[in-house]
Structure 1
Amino acid sequence: MKVTSKQIAEICGVTRGTVDRALHNRPGIHAATRDKILKVAAELGYRPHFLAQSLVKGRTKTLGVILFDIHNRIFAQLYHSFEAEARRRGYVVYLVLSNKDKELEIQYINSLLDRQVDGIAITPVNFGTEFASLLAKAQAPVVTFGNRVSADIPFVWIDDRQAIAESVRHIYAKGYRSLIYVSPPLRLKGKQNIGTPEQRHLGLLDACGELGDLRATVVTDRDFVPAVVRALEETEGKPAVLCSSDVYALEIVREFKQRNIRVPGQAGVMGFDNIDTLQYVDPPLATVDYNVDEIGRLAAELLIRRIEGQVIPPRTNVPHRIVDRESL
Structure 2
Amino acid sequence: MNITSKQIAELCGVTRGTVDRALNNRPGINPETRVKILRVAEELGYRPHFLAQSLVKGHTKTLGIVLFDIHNQIFSQLFHAFEAEARKRGYIVYLVLSNRDKDLELEYINNLLDRRVDGIALLPTNFNKKFETLLTRSRTPIVTFGNRLSGPFPYVWIDDKQAIRDSVAFLSSQGYRHLIYLSPPLMRKGKENIYVPEQRYLGFIEACDEISDMRHNVIAQKNYLAELEQLIEKTNSKSAILCSSDVYALEVLKWLKSRKIRVPEQIGLMGFDNIHVLKYINPSLTTVDYNVNEIGTKLADILINQINNDEVPSETLIAHHVLQGESVTLDRDL
Common fold by TM > 0.5: yes
Structure 1 counterpart of 2:168, one-letter code:
V
Identify the residue that residue 128 of structure 2 maps to in structure 1: 128
For the 8 Å contact 1:8–1:41, the answer to whether it is kept is yes
Q: What per-residue deviation string (whole Å, max 9, x for no partner) do you get for residues 286-311 of structure 1? A: 00111111111111111111111112
Deviation at 1:228?
2.0
The one-character-per-residue Cα deviations of 1:26-72 (angstroms, maximum 9, x if unpaired) are 11211111111111111111110001000111001110000001111
Aligned partner of 1:124: which letter? P
Q: Is the 8 A contact 2:132 2:151 kept in 1?
A: no
1:61-140 paired onto structure 2 within 5 Å: 61-140=61-140
Corresponding residue of 1:205: 205
Q: Distance in 2 between matches of 1:141 and 1:235?
A: 51
Matches of 2:227 and 2:292, distance apart in 1: 30
Letter matched to residue 117 of structure 2: V
Distance of 2:286 and 2:42 partners within structure 1: 58
- Paired amino acid for 1:22: A
1:4 alignment counterpart = 4
TM-score, scaled to structure 2: 0.96
Pairing of 1:257-268 with structure 2 (within 5 A): 257-268=257-268
Are 2:181 and 1:181 equivalent residues in the alignment? yes
Asked if structure 2 preserves the Cα contact closer than 8 Å seen for 1:74 and 1:292, the reply is yes
Compared CA separation, residues 316 and 151, structure 1 to 2 (3 A): farther
Count of residues in correspondence between the two structures: 328
Listed one character per residue, the Cα deviations across residues 202-240 of structure 1 (whole Å, up to 9, x for unaligned) are: 001111111122111111111223332232222222211
Q: Distance in 1 between matches of 2:242 and 2:161?
A: 14
How far apart are residue 74 of structure 1 and its match? Answer: 0.6
Q: Which runs of 4+ in 1 moved over 4 A?
A: none
Is 1:158–2:128 an aligned residue pair?
no
SS at match of 1:65: strand
Residues 1:208 and 1:151: Cα distance change in structure 2 (over 3 Å):
farther
Partner SS state of residue 99, structure 2: coil
Q: Distance in 2 between matches of 1:14 and 1:87?
A: 35
Deviation of 1:151 after TM superposition, in Å, equals 5.1
Q: Pairwise mapping of residues 130-279 of structure 1 onto structure 2 (< 5 A)? A: 130-150=130-150, 152-279=152-279
Contact 1:113-1:139 at 8 Å conserved across structures: no
d(CA) in 2 for partners of 1:111, 1:257: 47
SS at match of 1:283: coil
Q: Distance in 2 between matches of 1:253 and 1:177?
A: 20
The CA distance in 1 between the partners of 2:204 and 2:111, in whole Å, is 39
- Amino acid corresponding to residue 202 of structure 1 in structure 2: L
SS of 1:100's partner is coil
TM-score, normalising length: structure 1: 0.97
What amino acid is the match of 1:127? F
Name the % identity.
Answer: 60
8 Å contact from structure 1 (residues 286, 325) kept in 2: yes
1:151, 1:291 → 2: CA distance?
Answer: 26
Please say if residues 160 and 199 of structure 2, whose CA atoms lie closer than 8 Å, have aligned partners that are also in contact: yes
- Following the alignment from structure 2 to structure 1, what is the Cα–Cα distance between the partners of residues 199 and 315? 15
Assess if the C-alpha contact under 8 Å between 1:151 and 1:314 holds in 2: no
Is 2:20 the counterpart of 1:15? no
Are 1:9 and 1:16, in contact at CA under 8 Å, matched by a contact in 2?
Answer: yes
Match of 1:304 in 2: 304
Aligned-partner SS, 1:96: strand
| Alpha-carbon distance between aligned partners in 2 of 1:228 and 1:130, rounded to the nearest angstrom | 39
Q: CA RMSD in A?
A: 1.1
Of residues 94-103 and 24-33 in structure 1, the stretch that sits farther from structure 2 once superposed is: 24-33
Q: Secondary structure of the residue that 1:317 maps to in structure 2?
A: strand
**Quick one: structure 1 residues 313 and 151, their matched pair in 2 at CA, closer, same or farther if it must change by over 3 Å?**
farther
Instruction: State the AA in 1 paired with 2:18.
Output: T
What amino acid is aligned across from residue 13 of structure 1 in structure 2?
G
Distance 1:42 1:275 in 2: 48
Partners of 1:229 and 1:300 in 2: CA distance: 43
Query: Retained in 1: the 8 A contact 2:180–2:218?
Result: yes
Shift, 1:128, TM fit: 2.5
